[in-house]
Amino acid sequence: MCTALSFSAGNHYFGRNLDVKKSYGQKVVVTPKGYKTDMRSLSSFRTKYAMLGMAITPDNFPLYFEATNEKGLSIAGLNFPDNAHYNVTITGKSNVTPFELPLWLLGLCESVKQARAALSDCNIVNISFSAALPLSPLHWMLADKDECIVIESTKDGLKIYDNPFEVLTNNPPFDWHLMNMNNYLHLHNAGSVNANNNSMAHNYSLGLGALGLPGDFSSASRFVKAAFVKNNSVKSEDETENVSQFFHILASVSMPKGCVMMPKGAFEFTLYSCCCNTDKGIFYYNTYDNSTVRCINIHDYEAADSAKLIIIGEEI
């Protein structure tokens, strides 16, 4: 479970809620420009662009939950069980594993336009990182200041969808979410319309124009609510106000402990929320147990040693 969104307000912002049952030990990680690593099916890969985001780093490989590169291209992977399908290696294709995809796209591309071209030849392959780290079923949201797309590898092939809502959650597949949004065309941020001309009826409360807006924690409902809140959010020229607004959008679909029970009794909750000003390269985040927003600037690490990952701060 998770919610990701892209938001333009003077600058461009990208971020997500990570909804899980426990921490995986992730930290903020900067992958420097020129970082070289071995890919499972491609030849040795070297990043053209630096990037930062939340990741774990087994064997010095950055497994990003989400990340933004120095050019402002961002990606987030979200849970997509039962629908994600990965393939065998195909000769002549760019064979990339799901865990390599964020590093590959952000290390290679500076825009969604370039990423589309790279993805046209991409085959997402069924190779686990290790026996201890099997593949997760994922789909991805990729965005820059001009475009937003969704990437889904299913049994029907690799699907690339334009994302006009600039929001992504989990199941069902993205084309279902697009159709489902037609059920909520009537929602707005003002009062209800008295369509029946009933003189006895009146708006007894503010917010009645959004009557019917979902409020549960399902992926379908979070998609609708996040899209509505984002679309109606006030924008500013002030960085503090925009970052605060972004975190408020995420908070509208966050999960408190105890509200979402998993089959074996554990609870999913919003472990952390993050927001990156992709124009300035500033990454903000807070956690379930500490609502203080912390920030890291990728440009502070421009002179970093290209051979080393930079791991910042405490375990999240």
| Residues forming a β-bridge with 287 | 272, 290
| Residues forming a β-bridge with 311 | 29
Q: Which of 18, 80, 20 is nearest to 53 (CA)?
A: 18
Separation between Cα atoms, residue 84 and residue 193, nearest integer Å: 42
Separation between Cα atoms, residue 73 and residue 52, nearest integer Å: 11
Separation between Cα atoms, residue 217 and residue 253, nearest integer Å: 7
Separation between Cα atoms, residue 254 and residue 46, nearest integer Å: 36
Q: Evaluate whether 78 touches 133 at the Cβ level (below 8 Å).
A: no
Q: Between helices 112-119 and 101-108, what is the axis angle to 10°?
A: 120
Tell me the two tokens of residue 66: 């989400």
| Residues forming a β-bridge with 275 | 15, 284
2 catalytic residue (yes or no): yes
Residue linked to tokens 């807006």: 213
Please tell me what DSSP assigns to residue 144: -
- Which of 2, 122, 274, 276 is an active site residue? 2
Active site amino acids: 2
